[in-house]
Amino acid sequence: MARWGAATKKYIKNKQRAGEIARERVDILMAAAGKAAGTHGEGPEMARRYVHVARKIAMKIRTPLDPKATRRVCKRCDSYLLDGTTARVRLQGKGKNAHVAVTCLRCGNVKRYHYQRSRPGGPEGGQP
């Protein structure tokens, strides 16, 4: 019985170490995608490849991408969304319906993120 428990602990340690290595690789790939997306020529295609590989690694270890990376990736075509280069960013709506619309310029997919506008004289101290 004792042997079985030791093997299980070793397996868990190896699995945790594999997860740490995979997260590091995902971070490296996302950073490379950010750099490549800003260049002309083959840059955006290389960025797509980096994002695709990073998402595959994250799915393999069953962990989500961090929220910053998730907002930078198009779910539909794996493009790295860089404001003004591979994505169009617009503020839309008013009041409770205010949101940021990020449109992928490759496939046309739209992501919407809600936000609260600051009011003049409100808690944030906006100008009247």
pLDDT tens, 63-80?
899 999 999 999 999 999
Cα torsion 112, 113, 119, 120: sign: negative
Cα torsion 25, 26, 30, 33: sign: positive
pLDDT tens, 22-64?
999 999 999 999 999 989 889 999 999 999 999 999 999 998 9
At residue 128, does pLDDT exceed 50? Answer: no
Predicted confidence at residue 124, as pLDDT, reads 57
Instruction: Provide the percentage of residues in the chain whose pLDDT is more than 90.
Output: 62
- Counting every residue written for the chain, the total comes to 128
At residue 127, does pLDDT exceed 60? Answer: no
DSSP 9-22: HHHHHHHHHHHHHH
Whether residue 99 contacts residue 112, with contact meaning beta carbons closer than 8 Å, is answered with: yes
